[in-house]
Each structure stands twice: as C-alpha cells, then as structure tokens.
Structure 1
Amino acid sequence: MGDSFGDRPRGRTAAEEGVIRDEAAEEIAGEHGKLGLPAAIALIVGNIVGTGVFLLPASLAAYGTVSILAMALVSIGAVALAVVFGRLGARLPEGGGPYAYAKDAFGEFSGFWNAWSFWLTAWIGNAAIAVVWVNYVGYFLRWDSPAARIALALVALWVPALINLSGVRNIGVFALVTTVLKFVPLVFVAVVGLFFMRGADFGPFVATGGSWIAALSTAGALALFIYSGVESVTIVAEKVRDPARNIGRASVYGVLICAAMYMLSTVAVFGVVPHQALVGSTAPFADAINAMFGGSVGGGVMAACAIVSGIGAINGWTMLVAEMPMAAARDGLFPSVFARRSRRGAPWVGIVAGTALTSLVVFYNYLGSEGGFDRILLIATFTTVIPYFFSACAQLFWLVTGAREVKGARLGRDLAVTALAVLFAFWMTYGAGTQAIFVGFLMLLVGIPVYIWTKARRGEYGPGGEAAVPAAGHDR
C-alpha cells in the first residue's frame, strides 16, 4: 500500500503529492516508452473499430438507404466530439480523460461518477467484443458448446491482459499491428467495391414502410454505437508523447479515418449486395467479396479480419479498464489499490480486476438467460455516453465561464462544435433505450457507497475540506 500513488502519507500536502506523482509517472514513462502519434491514432481506431462493423451494413439495410444519411450525420457528431476531446486534452493533459475533465469543471463527485461509469463501460463492453470474437473463431473451429465458447472467450480476454501487463510499448505495437491488419480487407471492400456497385442493389430509400424521419432516427441510434472509443487516447494522456499537441491530433485523425472507412464500406456493400440478400446477411462483407469475385473465399477472409479486429479492440479496452480507475485512485477517489503499478509500469490491479469482472460477464452471457448479449451491449452503450456528455458539458462550461483567451470567431466556432457534441451525446443516451438506461443508472448508483467509503478512508467527513488530514491515531 505504501508504494501505491493512491496512498497519501500523513503530513504530505496535496501539492507535494502531485509533484511526486508526476515525477514517478515521468520516470515510468521514460523507462518504458510513450505512445507516439501513430500509436495513439491506432489506439483510437483499434478501440472504435471492433467487431460490430462487420455486421453493420446488414443491420442498417433493414431501414433502407436513408441509413447512409443517418451514418453521415452520426459521423459529423463523432468528429465534433473528437474535436472537443482534443481541446480538453490540450487544456488539461492529464490521465483519466473524461474523469479529469468532469472533476476539473464540476468537482470531485462528478469526476468520480464519470470514472465509475467509464470503468463499468470498459469491462462490460469487453465482454460484448469477446462474444462476437468467439462467433468468428467458430467459423474455423466449429466449437458450439457453451464450455468451448467460454474457453475461447477467456483466451480472448486474458491474452490481451498479459500483453497489457508487459508494458505500454508492447500495447502500442500490438495496437498498431492489429489496426493495420484489420483495415486492409475493410479498405479493400470500401475502395474496390465502389467499381462493382449497381443502382438496383441499393434498395428503397425507406424500407420500414413508415416516415423517413422515423427511419433516419432509428438507423442513427443504431449507428451511434459504432463510435464508442473516441475518448481512448485522453484516458492515457500521461502515456502519450507531447499530449497537449498529440491528443487532439490523434482524436480527430482517428475518428476521421474511422468515419471515412465506415461511410465508404457501407456504401460499397449497399451497392454490391442486393438489398433483400443484405438484410438477411450474417456476413455482409464476405457476401460483398463473393459478389464481386465469385466463390466463397470471402467468408474466411472476413472472419480472419474480424478475429484480428476483435483481439485488437480488447487489447485497447483492457488498457483503458485499468487507466481510468488508476487516475481516480491517485486522486483519492477510487480505492488506492488501483494505483499500484508493476515493475514494467503496468497498473496490474486494474488489469487483473477488470479482466476478471469481464470473465464473469462472459459466463453470464453463455450460461444466463436468452438475449443476454443485447442487454450487455446496450448497458455498455449507456455507461459510455455518460462520460461523453459530461466531457462535452465541461468544455461548454469552460468556454462560457473561463475562456478569457478564446475570443471572436474562434470562440464562436468552439461553442458551435461543443454544442453539437452535447447534442450528439444526448442522442446516444436516448438511443441506448429505456431498459438499458434503467439498469445502467442502477449500476451508477452502486458507485455512491464506494465514493463514501473512499472519502472516509481519506478522513473526509461531511462537506468540508478537500484533503483533510486524518486525526492522529485514526485507523486508515
């Protein structure tokens, strides 16, 4: 406990602790390397582009080609959110991302609640990625029993955990390699498929039979889920080289890359695979390759691509599942054990605890009631959006109340982009659905006793004093 950053020896001021903490972080980063701009971009792209993109065109086709417009609108919102994260990261280049921004703008409890919400997102969401990953591995192995699927899911979770435990340099290399490997076939379909498109394959503008506005809204809510991860690099700001400059660049470049790939690939698949076939497809990218060149090789190629994509996404999210609570623990707002680091600089408690909790969710999915996967995915979506909303509001708060150096046209631009990001996050919350919001909110409420316990451990009782020193003899 004495070696962890979350423990404050008696008599040391908060400022002194902050200096020591920063020096320790710099020492670890200097020894084990930092993420450069390419690796930071790869982390964002790897976390955003998981396994869902491989089923996305089929899901959107059910609403008609209006869903292409919906995806364009959602992509604009995601870019606005990336710009906001870039501005926040440049102004406050600290680890924890949304946690640090909410804490800076609205106080400790808001910061804690964002950290808690994101922590829930990271380990719940990893279970959803692992379940889809197992489905693609099953294309080759044909292991259909619950026990076999659980075993494969555990491999998908614990191999990235071991990579994360080995240090930040290996995480960055793994993210870069998996991002390149999974992008090659996706970009191939997105670019080559444009030359095979036929107007008759696109289908109707609205395929639901209702109004185009209702179809646009529903398709947009579905497309919102694919941009989770836009905040990834802000959470590991202390591991990024020149964070004040590179956080913004990585955030915007990463989202733009994903948006371009999403738009081009979706349009290509819509135009290559006949509409009725696409609506019922379980492997739309494989069907697109087969439609372009004939045969059935597309299924194996895209299954392999999805396997690489999934393991890369789990690797990145495993990093985040430990970084967020570590940042909060170092500020005394999470149990101090989460601030412990290994000799390689890895926050090993957060990695192990998060992966263990994800493993339990996997067991629930395969051994619990039917429909568990959908519930897991939607709850993770809701808990993701809470930090997005608070981050956008933190930027709005800063612009309105404290941005004395931002004036004129730039202030107007920043206000417009931030307002768009706030609306985008609100829309994402709505898209998660009432049941997911209800269950997710209950999970957020569970964090309040943890916050109370953590404050008591710091010797802070009642509304006074941010860093009160415990009375002599007090058992900490």
Structure 2
Amino acid sequence: MTTGTAGPEATAPPEPGADQPRPSRFGLPTATALVVGSVIGTGVFGLPSALAAFGPISLVAFVLVTIGALALALTFGALSKRISGSGGPYVYARDAFGDFAGFLTAWCYWITAWAGNAAIVVALVGYVEVFVNTDHQVVWSIAIALAGLWIPALVNLSGLRNMAVTQILSVVLKFVPLLFMATVGLIFVKSANFGPFNASGTSVWGAISAAGAIALFSYIGIETASVAAGRVRDPERNVSRATVFGTIGCAVVYILGTLTVFGTVPNAALRDTKAPFTDAANAIFGGQWAGQTIAVAAVVSGLGCLIGWTLIIGEMPMAAAKDNLFPKAFLRTRRDIPSFGIISSTVLASALVIVSYTNFEQVFTTLVLLSVFTAVVPYLFSAAAQLYWLLVRGRRAEWPHLVRDCTVSVLALAFSFWALAGSGYQAVYYGVICLLLGVPLYIWLKVSRGEYGEVTS
C-alpha cells in the first residue's frame, strides 16, 4: 500500500508482510460503493422521524447541509489529487501542520470508527428483531449485535476482493429500495401529510439550525475513499470522483427520500414511529410486506456500512503507524489487510456494545456523541489544510481558480464548525477530554523514538 507522508523527510518503516510487490487494489465502482456504503447505514431509515418535529422546514436545513457536505467532498477530492496514499484526513493534517496535528486527527478518527461501528450495529439489531428475538431478550440482542460486528470483520480479513464484492452488492441491495422511495414514492405524496411548514414553535432560523444539527451527521463517511486511497487504482483520479459521486448519490436519496416519507406519513404519526421508511412503504402499497422489505434493506444497509467502516478502522491507524505516529502493532497484516487494526478495533466496539446492553445506556449514548465530535475534528483539519495550502503554495497567478477553490475550502471549514456546534455542549466538553487522552500516547511514541518537537525521520 502506498504510504501517505508529510514531507520529503518522512519515511515509512518496513511493514510486516510487505514482500508483496504492491497491495490489492480496487477501481472506481468499489471506491464509490465504499463512500455510499459508509455514509448510508441504518441511521437514514430513522432520520425522517428525527426531523418530523421541525416539519418540512427541515428539508431546507438538509439542502444547506448538503451544500456543506459537497464542499467537503470537493475538498477531499482536491487533497487526494495532491497527496497520494491511504490515510485521508490524517495525511492531509500531517502534511500541513506536522506530526502532532496528524496524530490527533488519526486518534480522533480511529475513535470515531470503532465507536461508530458500535452505534451502527445497535441500530441494526432493532431491524433484525423485526423477524427474530421479537421479545428483545438482552442475551440474544447482544449475540445478534456481536455477529453484526464480527461478520464484517471476517469478510474484510478474508481478502480485499471479498470485501469489494460484498460492498458493491450491499450498496445495490440497499440503494435500490431507497432510490425507489426517493423517486417513484414521490407520486404518492399528499400535501395534507406535511403539517405546518415550521412545526418547531421557534423562529425560522432556529428551526433550520436545530434540524441542521441532526442532518449534519448523516454525511459522516464521505471521506472514506480518501482514507483507503492507497487501495484505489489511479487514486489521483478515482478518489476524487468516488467522493463526489458518492456524496451526490447519498444527497439524492436523503433529501428526496425524506420528502417522500414526509408526504406519505402524517406528521403526527411520523413523530412517534421508529421505522419511518417502513411506515411510508406500508402507506404506499398497503399491508405489511412492503415495510418488511424495507426492514430487510435496513439490515443489508447496516451490514454493508459495517463492512466499509471495518476496513477503515484498520487503514487509518495503519497509515499513522507507518509514520511512527501509532503503535507498530497496527502494521500487522493478513492477506494485505490491516488485521491487527481490524481485530483490535472490533474488540473495542464489541465491548462498547455489551456495555450498551447492560444498563449503561447513558454511557453508550455519551460515547456515541463523542464519536460525532471526533469525526468532525478530522474534517476541520482537512479543510484547514486545503485552505492553508491554497493561500501559501496555491496557484497565485490563476486568481479565478484560486478564489473558487478558497471559497469551497471556507465552506467546508464553516460546515465543520457548524457540525461541532451541533454536537452539543456535553459532547464538545467530553470530546475535548477524549481528544487530549491521546496526548500521553503521543508522548510515549515520541520518547520511544528519542525525538523532540516536530522532528521526523
């Protein structure tokens, strides 16, 4: 795998299993599927219910959030053309701001990945239990959740080809019914179901901001193609295209799908349901079979999302470990897959799942909110890195291009700050503590190398 480095002095230590001439790689379809699969998990199936309290005005918030997400996608695409190799936000932050910024980015993103996997699989269990364990016995719920974590891990450990095939297949199986609801479903929309345009009881801007705080987090994962860039064929071309295409595809499904649900399920009923797309499908076709089909799509969606994120939880720390900014154990591979990163992170996610089912729901909720905070920090560093590069080393003679690129970067940076504010005071407070918990590890890594400051070797 190509190594992302922060400058001419940086070198990567030998990697276990590096006797292969080059890593297994995948093309644009799989890279796009990785983005879509990582962004669209189980959360989209409950999103309309969360937005129903604000009314149709939340669609305005969704459009504004989509603009910010596209700005981030274009930023990641531009950065991937300039800096090759896996690592995504980590290598971008390290290139612009040095080792410490790179380490904090990798640390935050790693926490996001395994804590986020725990959240995804807990939501996945709810849809599985539509068919089995309908009485929600805790022991069986835990067993289903652990299976939902370790099946994607085994798929990844079996090789990149198997991961690519299952990722594409899962994206197709979940994207088709969602796209159907986002297109054909519009025919069945009734204006009477929408309710008041602003149902929040607050000002227009207050409602948009509050709804945006929910919608902001639906795009986490748009950077995954850049994180796995070392696995992508022709990354300078395909990572950028996959990121933008994937984000646009997700935006279409999100906005039009939410519009369909708003228009087919009465607002009062939508606020109370836990499966809005299921209710919308039942309202369109009648009976229960359509809703059960959507539940199956939700299960497939969750598994596909977990398969993509399971690769990412190994790729990010592996890229940092190559630059001696993460423990060297993360360099261990099996069949050219970062096995130690995948296994250790899945163990952590499994422990978090068990905690969530043993009367510590509040602890779990807090940790999930922390994962949101830790996801946004790498976005902020990436947008700042692109803006820094443009202002210092950009194409100064080509002012129209420079102004355009700077505008996109500023939008991405503003989007990141908005996401931080939307995560809430408690998440930011504990998130900063979680962020700084990585400092002792950074000190240990630097001391073990006999370094001081930003020296690299």
Question: What is the TM-score when the length of structure 1 is the normalising length?
Answer: 0.91
Question: After the TM superposition, which residues 40-439 of structure 1 pair with which residues of structure 2 at under 5 Å, given as runs?
Answer: 40-141=31-132, 142=134, 144-342=136-334, 344-404=335-395, 407-439=398-430
With over 3 angstroms needed to count, the CA separation of the structure-2 counterparts of 1:150 and 1:373, relative to structure 1, is: same
Mean Cα deviation higher: 137-146 or 147-156: 137-146
Give distance in 1, aligned partners of 2:126 and 2:329: 35
Mean Cα deviation higher: 404-413 or 105-114: 404-413
Give distance in 2, aligned partners of 1:381 and 1:269: 25
Unaligned residue ranges in structure 2 (runs of 5+)? none
What is the percentage of aligned positions where both structures have the same residue?
A: 49
Unaligned residue ranges in structure 1 (runs of 5+)? 6-12, 468-476
Please say if residues 49 and 258 of structure 1, whose CA atoms lie closer than 8 Å, have aligned partners that are also in contact.
yes
With over 3 angstroms needed to count, the CA separation of the structure-2 counterparts of 1:217 and 1:406, relative to structure 1, is: farther
Mean Cα deviation higher: 41-50 or 408-417: 408-417
Mean Cα deviation higher: 119-128 or 440-449: 440-449
Please say if residues 182 and 252 of structure 2, whose CA atoms lie closer than 8 Å, have aligned partners that are also in contact.
no
Please say if residues 64 and 208 of structure 1, whose CA atoms lie closer than 8 Å, have aligned partners that are also in contact.
yes
Give distance in 1, aligned partners of 2:443 and 2:66: 39
Please say if residues 201 and 273 of structure 1, whose CA atoms lie closer than 8 Å, have aligned partners that are also in contact.
yes
Amino acid at match of 2:313: V
| SS of 1:63 mapped into structure 2 | coil
User: Pairwise CA RMSD of aligned residues?
Assistant: 1.9
Give distance in 2, aligned partners of 1:333 and 1:415: 30
Paired residues in the alignment total 450
Please say if residues 143 and 149 of structure 1, whose CA atoms lie closer than 8 Å, have aligned partners that are also in contact.
no
Residue 24 of structure 1, CA deviation: 4.3
Give distance in 2, aligned partners of 1:420 and 1:131: 33
With over 3 angstroms needed to count, the CA separation of the structure-2 counterparts of 1:138 and 1:324, relative to structure 1, is: same
Residue 372 of structure 1, CA deviation: 4.1
With over 3 angstroms needed to count, the CA separation of the structure-2 counterparts of 1:189 and 1:404, relative to structure 1, is: closer
CA deviation map 1:229-272 (0-9, x unaligned) = 01101111110000001111000000000001111111111111
Give distance in 2, aligned partners of 1:252 and 1:325: 24
| SS of 1:371 mapped into structure 2 | helix
Residue 187 of structure 1, CA deviation: 1.1
Question: What is the TM-score when the length of structure 2 is the normalising length?
Answer: 0.95
Residue 152 of structure 1, CA deviation: 0.8
Amino acid at match of 1:78: A
Residue 466 of structure 1, CA deviation: 2.3
Residue 379 of structure 1, CA deviation: 1.2
Determine which structure has more spread, i.e. the larger CA radius of gyration.
Answer: 1
| SS of 1:27 mapped into structure 2 | coil
Give distance in 2, aligned partners of 1:357 and 1:40: 26
Please say if residues 202 and 275 of structure 1, whose CA atoms lie closer than 8 Å, have aligned partners that are also in contact.
yes
Please say if residues 51 and 133 of structure 1, whose CA atoms lie closer than 8 Å, have aligned partners that are also in contact.
yes
Give distance in 1, aligned partners of 2:353 and 2:71: 34
Amino acid at match of 1:337: A
Residue 299 of structure 1, CA deviation: 2.5
CA deviation map 1:144-191 (0-9, x unaligned) = 122111111110001111111112121111110000000111111111
Please say if residues 89 and 234 of structure 1, whose CA atoms lie closer than 8 Å, have aligned partners that are also in contact.
yes
Amino acid at match of 2:439: I
Please say if residues 285 and 298 of structure 1, whose CA atoms lie closer than 8 Å, have aligned partners that are also in contact.
no
Q: Could you tell me which residue of structure 2 aligns to residue 466 of structure 1? A: 456
Residue 108 of structure 1, CA deviation: 0.4
